[in-house]
């Protein structure tokens, strides 16, 4: 009965009801979308690297080590000697290591020198591996494997020769002209900094700097034989990643590395550092959360306002309902039903448009902001949010409902004009 009246009454005030539903739907969509993007951005960020237990570099800033090793931002002050690396990785508690050598760039994209361990062991977003779209991993001195974004933006394909630049600034004027590299593979998109980097092996890094000991090319011709892998001696790397056989040993290993005697080293736990870093930049997400909360509040207020303003013009209707046997309680429930109906429909349409929105902005977010969103069903958290919105909306209906209840007690069967 009340359902019927609720439905009819809402239908009667189609336009205002529609506006209410629209404002709830919009705010629900906005709220949930911001939530998803927020979580997507955080997960994308903290999952840039996974499985790696420790990142080791020369002593310096912890954040700096994380930034240059994982995000290819900034640069190291000191390097690690190759024999230190060789010694450390022999430790039997170590499962694998990935060496990283940095310092050069290609048209603004960082050059990362590593070895086959990177392609075999590096993991991101849980258990995702670095895959190649085409080609093979760089094993020869002048092999290069490029990130998908680099390939796309610079329109590069397999077989293209490229000249790397010395230093990491995009306006680098010193080029490694004498040591052209050749693209042998393209890495599949990862939505991580890998996409915007150029991968060579450690031999290539060493080879292109032959004769550059002073920081600039000496100009003296280099015997091509020296570029052969067996003739190259790798002397240093920038940092390396470590995976231990047992996670229990992480803290112990970290302490050992921090106190390494032969040169000053430092180890960080990437999972922890990423979280710490996210917290420092995470105030943006809190602001976003607050803003979306405010929008939600406005949506709920719109229901309150629309119902409350309608109460006076509906006094007559309430007296009629009273005359045919409705109790004041009936009048109260009628209004509560109306507000909850509006909120329920609003929430439903909000969720539907959320998925529609995600469906369309997903590729764009992925390619422009490396925010990876899956079209997953509503999470428990989101269901709780929706329940909260439903309760808040129904509570918003309480105020006009109480007003109508009081009116109906006061008016009885007397119709106010």
- Which range touches another protein (CB under 8 A), out of 3-11, 102-110, 219-227, 380-388? 3-11
Binds another protein by CB under 8 A, chosen from 215, 220, 223, 324: 324
Closest distance between another protein and the C-beta of residue 343, in Å?
20
70: tokens are: 């994982």
225: tokens are: 């034989």
State phi, psi for 222 to the nearest 5 degrees: -105, 135
Judged by CB under 8 A, does residue 145 bind another protein? no
Q: Within 10 Å of residue 224's Cβ, how many Cβ atoms?
A: 8
Binds another protein by CB under 8 A, chosen from 121, 152, 330, 362: 330
252: tokens are: 């112990």
Judged by CB under 8 A, does residue 327 bind another protein? yes
Residues that bind another protein (rule: CB under 8 A) add up to a total of: 27
Binds another protein by CB under 8 A, chosen from 129, 228, 255, 316: 316
| DSSP state letter for 249 | G
Map tokens 């790798």 to a residue. Answer: 234
Binds another protein by CB under 8 A, chosen from 298, 320, 383, 391: 320
The dihedral over CA atoms of 43, 44, 45, 47, expressed in degrees to the nearest 10, equals 70
Binds another protein by CB under 8 A, chosen from 38, 51, 110, 322: 322
Binds another protein by CB under 8 A, chosen from 136, 235, 312, 323: 323
- Binding mask of the shown chain, residues 376 to 415, with x at each position contacting another protein by CB under 8 A: ------------------------------------xxxx
Q: Which residues of 37-48 are buried (b: 16+ CB within 10 A; e: fewer)?
A: bbbbbbbbbbbb
Judged by CB under 8 A, does residue 279 bind another protein? no
Binds another protein by CB under 8 A, chosen from 126, 221, 224, 325: 325
Judged by CB under 8 A, does residue 113 bind another protein? no
Judged by CB under 8 A, does residue 4 bind another protein? yes
Q: Strands 165-166, 94-106: parallel, antiparallel or unpaired by DSSP?
A: antiparallel
Q: How far apart are CA 159 and CA 207, in angstroms?
A: 20
What sections of 81-141 are H helices per DSSP? 82-89, 116-121
Q: Within 10 Å of residue 249's Cβ, how many Cβ atoms?
A: 16
Binding site for another protein (CB under 8 A): 1, 4-5, 8-9, 11-13, 316-317, 319-330, 412-415, 417
């Amino acid at each position: 009965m009340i359902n019927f009246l609720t439905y009819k009454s809402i239908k009667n005030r189609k336009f205002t009801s529609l506006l209410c539903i629209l404002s709830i739907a919009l705010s629900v969509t906005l709220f949930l979308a911001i939530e998803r993007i927020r979580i997507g951005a955080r997960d994308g960020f903290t999952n840039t690297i996974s499985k790696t237990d420790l990142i080791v570099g020369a002593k310096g800033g912890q954040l700096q080590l994380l930034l240059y090793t994982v995000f290819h931002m900034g640069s190291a002050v000191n390097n690690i000697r190759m024999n230190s690396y060789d010694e450390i990785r022999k430790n039997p508690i170590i499962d694998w290591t990935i060496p990283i050598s940095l310092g050069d760039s290609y048209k603004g994209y960082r050059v990362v020198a590593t070895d086959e361990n990177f392609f075999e062991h590096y993991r991101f977003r849980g258990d995702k591996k670095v895959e190649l779209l085409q080609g093979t991993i760089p094993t020869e001195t002048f092999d290069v494997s490029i990130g998908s974004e680099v390939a796309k933006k610079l329109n590069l394909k397999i077989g293209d020769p490229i000249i790397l630049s010395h230093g990491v600034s995009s306006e680098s004027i010193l080029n490694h002209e004498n040591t052209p590299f050749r693209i042998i593979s393209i890495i599949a998109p990862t939505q991580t900094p890998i996409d915007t980097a150029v991968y060579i092996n450690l031999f290539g890094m060493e080879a292109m700097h032959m004769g550059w000991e002073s920081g600039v090319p000496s100009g003296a011709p280099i015997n091509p034989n020296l570029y052969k892998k067996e003739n190259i001696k790798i002397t240093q790397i920038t940092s390396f990643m470590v995976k231990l056989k047992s996670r229990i040993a992480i803290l112990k290993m970290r302490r050992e590395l921090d106190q390494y005697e032969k040169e000053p080293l430092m180890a960080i736990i990437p999972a922890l550092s990423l979280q710490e870093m996210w917290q420092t930049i995470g105030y943006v997400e809190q602001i976003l959360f607050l803003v979306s909360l405010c929008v939600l509040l406005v949506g709920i207020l719109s229901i309150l306002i629309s119902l409350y303003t309608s109460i006076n013009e509906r006094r007559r209707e309430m007296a009629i309902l009273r005359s045919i046997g409705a109790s004041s309680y009936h009048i109260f429930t009628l209004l509560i039903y109306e507000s909850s109906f509006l909120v329920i429909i609003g929430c439903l349409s909000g969720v539907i448009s959320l998925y529609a929105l995600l469906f369309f902005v997903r590729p764009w977010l992925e390619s422009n902001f490396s925010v990876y969103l899956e079209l997953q069903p509503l999470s428990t958290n989101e269901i709780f949010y929706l329940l909260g919105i439903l309760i808040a909306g129904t509570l918003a209906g309480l105020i006009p409902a109480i007003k109508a209840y009081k009116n109906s007690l006061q008016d009885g069967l007397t119709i106010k004009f």
